Structure 1
Amino acid sequence: MKKIFLGFILFVCSGISLNAQNKIDKINMTYGEEITDDKGKIVKIIGEANNKIYTLVLKGKSDYFLKTFDSKAMKQLSLNPIVLPELNDKDLEFEEIALLNDKLYVIGSVFHRKEKKFTLVAMPISENGILGKDMITLFESIVARSSDRGGFYFKKSPDDQMILVMHTALFEKEDAMKYEIKLFDENMKAAFSTEDKVSYDDNKKDYQFTISDFDVNNKDDVFLVVNEGYRDKKLKEKKEKVELHIFKQANGYKKEVVKIDIVDKEIINCSMMATSKNDVKLTGFYSSVRDNGKANKELKGVYNITVNLAKNTTENVKFNEFDMPTKVKLLGQRRANKGKDVKPLYVIHSIVEKNDGGLIVISEYRMIYVGQKQGIGPFGLQPITYTMNEMIVNSLKPDGSLEWSNVVAKEQSASVTVATFNLFAGGSNGSFSVGVEMAIPLGVMGRGPEYLSALPMYHNGQLNIIFNDNVKNKGITDIEEIKSLGNYNNAVPTLFIFDDKGNITRKDPEEVIKNELVLRPGIYYRKTDNEYIIYASRKSKDKIGRMILQD
């Protein structure tokens, strides 16, 4: 009888361990059992299919593993190394891993210096880590030279059935930047492909040329936005030319171009969202321009351009200056009163489509400090500090005008040491750049930066933002009073809830539990607008979990 009773206690305790919950207001975080192996850290949650959760693990500099979990119990099922083969006697470099309609693919690249060719290939992989025999060639991009080989960029379709891939490269002698875009289905067959060289004239004053963003909508239409800016010295004007390249499936992917000309404002950056309302929204920061046509470079506010896809026409172009309460929070009262603008240290974190057809644009103070390299050649070490501080939240009406704005007060940083530093390879070259927002490199994930930033959730018309914070900031929303995160292993989650006027309500855990798991906002998978698969840890303890935003 005693043995039976003891067994019952162990069973109950086991159940509690498997389903331990951490709740903040209306958010439930439920975790599976502890991950006990030491084969590196999870750096990406790939997706969920066949009652399994698929994750990517990195150990050391370049040893990747495929780790699976049971969807219900969230306990580990398997762990297998991903061993990439050679292509033409050269090692493939890991680029991406994607789950398309329950089919898993590893994507790798190799550069052939002699042929000046950048090759991208995909290989099916089983959950046991076994690569398929067939290597599928996705790209064979000819470039001008090795140093201008560019890079590959990836985006999943809204239904996770397709993957959009773009390669860009500079052809300096031709005064052109080439882009090549392909849309692949679940069998890695190209449903759409296009290639073009966009010419530029860098003899113009203060010239900037950017391939700003690309996207795919729920109709499998493909979009690319290009921005060209320069100063007309004779007219003393700043001119911006924005082009939206449209490829609609219904039109056989015939290229269509919508041009937007802007005078006396400088476009600092441009992000795109193909919405459910059959339009495309272009948004980002802009700066003011002096009387001589020179841009001030600092952030004046947020703009919105709406392109109607049914007519291929520009419906609205709105420029919204930061209001005084927002500027006071970002700059302080004295500088705001003097009419100063915001420093250009903010990047678009995420864009949310609202129920009414408007947007919520969330930007974040982000700085990367690269320390001096220590050592000789490839064996040297280089310290990098990531800083991700306050977030600006702008809610835009359907016509693009400002509805409200506010600031999420936070102060976070983390430092890592890497063997080499090539974060921005292929991303920019002088006046020419690719502005597609890049995630933190996989090579530094698992070592601190993934604890930073925040995870926004928009559900039932309400915005919620959860992030890690210093326990001493409980209840504080004033940016002047917050303390820095400090040791992220001791962080606690906090939730900022926004009402329909942008007012913030802060929710913190009722009590701080010692040695509690810490959420990693940089590593998650969004299932629905109120359900996320998450990863949390504290020192050597790691768990996979689910985060549910309750109605």
Structure 2
Amino acid sequence: YIMKNLLKYLFVFLLSLNLIEAQNKIEKVSLTYGEELPDDNQKIVKIIGEVNNKIYALAIKGKNDFFIKIFESTSMKLLKSKLIVIPEVLDKEIDFEEIFLLNSNLYAIGSVYNKKDKTFNLVANQISEDGILSKQTIVLFNSEVAKKSDRGVFYFKQSPDEGALLVMHTALFSKEDAVKYEVKLFDDKLYPLFSNTEKVKFDDSKKDYEFKIADFELNFLDDVFLVVNESYRDSKKKEQIEKFEIHTFKQKNGYKKEIININISGREIINCKMLATAKNTLKIVGFYSSVKENGKANFDLKGVYNATINLSDNTYDEVKFNEFDYQTKVKLIGERRAKKGKEVKPLYAIHSIVEKNDGGLIVLSEFQTVYVGNSSGIGPLAFTPVTYTKNEIIVTCLKPDGSLEWSNVLPKEQSAAITTMSFAFGAIGGNGNFAVGVAMQIPLVELGKGPEYLGAIPIYKNNQLNILFNDNVKNKGITNIEEIKSLGNYNNAVPSLFIFDNNGSITRKDPEEAIKNELVLRPAVYYRKSDKEYIIYASRKKKDKLGRMVLED
């Protein structure tokens, strides 16, 4: 009897080992997971970082209850899970904004509007290694605004070494025809290193006028950059005028403001992103559109532009405009439309920018749309259907001088539909002719419901670009965009790896054998540990695991 039970338990143990090892294996990629997480309905929406042999993650439960989860690094065993409750400020409840790990200091950040003073405040509370919030609240911003509906948005960026935090607040003052931006840089103790507040006037009486705070950036020297894009049509000269004003604040100059002007005519700038490189340059990239003879923009995507600013003397060479080649357009809009000279629709947002070892760039631009349906219900009980779509990615490789080296298209078709009680796009701010040009980000409160399965993870290692994403198992081996099938049920997705060589040619790697009921990667939730190692999150229905993904040589 004892021997019989021993054999039975041994069989169950060996079976469990097989279940642990039975992963969707893919050549060049090693995926290892920790133990299964408790069934507590807490879905991880951000992997914050790893320090002192612990991994920190943010999870959500229900509508907006956020938890700090702490894991042991080696085993990835869950050590603690604590509800984040930021203390009230002036007897007002705080709205959770973000959470950051600055070196070994963990902070929860929230915002609150003060109706009496017409101020929008940002506060932070430190979290201990045990997940306990400090009762001491640090006030980061106390920004004057025109009214609650124009209180603006806070934007965040961490320094490359993750030891400093850059925060920007923007708000519209419509009666003054002005936009106020406030930028602050904090060290790992949230002590302010630099602060600048400015109201920028604009003149929207001009034809086709647009004013945009396009992007902001922080480099390895803790220098701060902000770019303002102003565009309008000169009806007399029949020209489209584009003005870039880069506001530069360098640590070595005591953060004294410097302005770099870049003027462009004859083209419409669709969007603009900045990347501060390791070579102490500032790269400005984005899409541009063609312009009609009367100066009106076509608002299509003609190609990708690039300006490179040398930060040692603030000089820049000629802006490079790289038109999409015929083969790229065929993949995006089809051969028939490409032959007729049709252009690409402006539905692509810059997903990420990779700095190459030679000083050039690889720009990934993803097809992104959000469809918001009609709400049903009344007041706080109203439900809104939202569909996120993230399809093909245009991959543009630029030489160090900004000219085109090669381009290709990553074929994928993904969507996820959810129903939410409070839909709001905090990542995209704007009103009328004013906007803040931040790429689409799925709000934290919407993650954990499906959209986190969409998107892709770019990996740049040994001068080679690799892109991993969830795909339909029926697309195995397919690289032709016209032949791919949509993702379908993301719970049945498998990881696919696309490898780009030095000429932009694609090699696709799929699991040799798709395993049913396997954990599915969530590409919107990961932490980049190094150029080859990533901390990832995968799940299937109620089963969740933290893991590591390593790109093998």
- For normalisation by structure 1, the TM-score amounts to 0.97
| 1:113 equivalent in structure 2 | 115
Which range is displaced more, 122-131 or 521-530? 122-131
Q: 2:191 aligns with which of 186, 189, 192?
A: 189
1:141-193 Cα offsets, whole Å, 9 max, x none, are: 00111111100000110001011100000111111111111111111101111
Partners of 1:450 and 1:521 within 8 A in 2? yes
In structure 2, how many angstroms separate the alpha carbons of the residues matched to 1:505 and 1:259?
Answer: 42
Which residue identity is paired with 1:197? Answer: K
| 1:152 equivalent in structure 2 | 154
Partners of 2:454 and 2:470 within 8 A in 1? yes
| 1:35 equivalent in structure 2 | 37
1:101-158 Cα offsets, whole Å, 9 max, x none, are: 1110000110011211000011001233311121101000001111111000001100
- Which secondary structure does the structure 1 equivalent of 2:317 belong to? strand
| 2:525 equivalent in structure 1 | 523
Partners of 1:17 and 1:32 within 8 A in 2? no
CA separation of 1:492/1:432 partners in 2, compared to 1, >3 Å: closer, same or farther? Answer: same
Partners of 1:22 and 1:28 within 8 A in 2? no
- Which secondary structure does the structure 1 equivalent of 2:262 belong to? strand
Partners of 1:150 and 1:425 within 8 A in 2? no
| 1:488 equivalent in structure 2 | 490
Partners of 1:100 and 1:162 within 8 A in 2? yes
In structure 2, how many angstroms separate the alpha carbons of the residues matched to 1:129 and 1:27?
Answer: 33
- Which secondary structure does the structure 2 equivalent of 1:528 belong to? coil
In structure 2, how many angstroms separate the alpha carbons of the residues matched to 1:75 and 1:206?
Answer: 56
Shift of 1:433: 0.2
| 1:367 equivalent in structure 2 | 369
Partners of 1:238 and 1:294 within 8 A in 2? yes
2:430 maps to 1:440: no
| 2:214 equivalent in structure 1 | 212
In structure 2, how many angstroms separate the alpha carbons of the residues matched to 1:22 and 1:100?
Answer: 34
Give the percent of matched residue pairs that are identical in Structure 1 and Structure 2: 65
Shift of 1:40: 1.8
| 1:243 equivalent in structure 2 | 245
| 1:326 equivalent in structure 2 | 328
CA separation of 1:487/1:10 partners in 2, compared to 1, >3 Å: closer, same or farther? Answer: closer
2:334 maps to 1:301: no
Which residue identity is paired with 1:71? Answer: S
1:293-349 Cα offsets, whole Å, 9 max, x none, are: 000001000000111101101123100000000000101111101111100000000
In structure 1, how many angstroms separate the alpha carbons of the residues matched to 2:418 and 2:282?
Answer: 38
1:472-505 Cα offsets, whole Å, 9 max, x none, are: 1110011111111000000111010000000001
Partners of 2:271 and 2:288 within 8 A in 1? yes
Shift of 1:213: 0.5
Which residue identity is paired with 2:481? Answer: I
Which residue identity is paired with 1:237? Answer: E
Which range is displaced more, 14-23 or 358-367? 14-23
Which range is displaced more, 480-489 or 73-82? 73-82
Shift of 1:425: 7.8
2:425 maps to 1:423: yes
Shift of 1:423: 1.4
| 1:509 equivalent in structure 2 | 511
2:384 maps to 1:382: yes
Partners of 2:267 and 2:288 within 8 A in 1? yes
Shift of 1:243: 1.0
Partners of 2:32 and 2:549 within 8 A in 1? yes
| 1:544 equivalent in structure 2 | 546
Show structure 1 runs of 5+ residues with no match: none
Which residue identity is paired with 2:198? Answer: D
Which residue identity is paired with 2:169? Answer: H
Which residue identity is paired with 1:98? Answer: F
In structure 2, how many angstroms separate the alpha carbons of the residues matched to 1:359 and 1:441?
Answer: 28
Partners of 1:62 and 1:443 within 8 A in 2? yes
Pairs within 5 Å for 1:153-302: 153-302=155-304
Pairs within 5 Å for 1:325-364: 325-364=327-366
Partners of 1:368 and 1:385 within 8 A in 2? yes
- Which secondary structure does the structure 1 equivalent of 2:134 belong to? coil
2:477 maps to 1:460: no
Partners of 2:87 and 2:135 within 8 A in 1? no
Partners of 1:33 and 1:74 within 8 A in 2? yes
Partners of 2:23 and 2:515 within 8 A in 1? no
Q: What is the number of residues matched between the two proteins?
A: 551
Partners of 1:329 and 1:479 within 8 A in 2? yes
Partners of 1:307 and 1:316 within 8 A in 2? no
Which range is displaced more, 132-141 or 9-18? 9-18
> Which segments of structure 1 move beyond 3 Å, counting only runs of 4 or more?
1-22
Partners of 1:214 and 1:436 within 8 A in 2? no
Partners of 2:39 and 2:543 within 8 A in 1? no
In structure 2, how many angstroms separate the alpha carbons of the residues matched to 1:401 and 1:57?
Answer: 42
Q: 1:470 aligns with which of 464, 469, 472?
A: 472
- For normalisation by structure 2, the TM-score amounts to 0.97
Show structure 2 runs of 5+ residues with no match: none
Which residue identity is paired with 1:64? Answer: F
Q: 2:62 aligns with which of 60, 63, 66?
A: 60
Partners of 1:352 and 1:360 within 8 A in 2? yes
1:386-424 Cα offsets, whole Å, 9 max, x none, are: 011111000000000000000011110000111122215
| 1:127 equivalent in structure 2 | 129
Partners of 2:416 and 2:450 within 8 A in 1? yes
In structure 2, how many angstroms separate the alpha carbons of the residues matched to 1:50 and 1:354?
Answer: 31
- Which secondary structure does the structure 2 equivalent of 1:351 belong to? strand
Partners of 1:28 and 1:549 within 8 A in 2? yes
Partners of 1:150 and 1:426 within 8 A in 2? no
In structure 2, how many angstroms separate the alpha carbons of the residues matched to 1:143 and 1:310?
Answer: 36
Shift of 1:80: 1.1
Shift of 1:232: 0.2
Which range is displaced more, 284-293 or 309-318? 309-318
CA separation of 1:102/1:11 partners in 2, compared to 1, >3 Å: closer, same or farther? Answer: farther
Pairwise CA RMSD of aligned residues?
A: 1.6
Which residue identity is paired with 2:47? Answer: I
In structure 1, how many angstroms separate the alpha carbons of the residues matched to 2:194 and 2:361?
Answer: 28
Partners of 2:426 and 2:443 within 8 A in 1? no
CA separation of 1:17/1:516 partners in 2, compared to 1, >3 Å: closer, same or farther? Answer: closer
In structure 1, how many angstroms separate the alpha carbons of the residues matched to 2:427 and 2:472?
Answer: 34
- Which secondary structure does the structure 1 equivalent of 2:513 belong to? coil
